[in-house]
Amino acid sequence: HELASLSSIVDDDGAIDADEMMRRLLAAHEVAVTTALAVLPVAERAHDLATADLLGQRMGAHQKAAWMPRSTLGS
């Protein structure tokens, strides 16, 4: 699967406990924020305000959603 290799989020490969699920969920949110941060300068250099705005909104949504697994894990 060529497209699967483009993802930086690892698919689940079986049954996991709740703590591991929360760790993976937190890691996925962090990957999404990191990826958006990496793309943001490209959009800004291209003066693509719509993409820059979308990236900012997505980063905010993922940062906000990360509180749940972070608080559950006590991080």
For 11-21, the pLDDT digits (tens) are: 667 788 989 98
Task: State how far Cα 30 lies from the chain centre.
Answer: 5
Query: What local confidence, expressed as pLDDT, does residue 4 receive?
Result: 54
Q: What is the pLDDT of residues 21-71, one digit of tens each?
A: 899 999 999 999 999 999 999 999 999 999 999 999 999 999 999 999 999
Query: What local confidence, expressed as pLDDT, does residue 40 receive?
Result: 95
* 43 contacts 7 by C-beta, under 8 angstroms: no
Tokens of residue 10, six digits: 């690892």
Query: What local confidence, expressed as pLDDT, does residue 2 receive?
Result: 55
Query: What local confidence, expressed as pLDDT, does residue 35 receive?
Result: 93
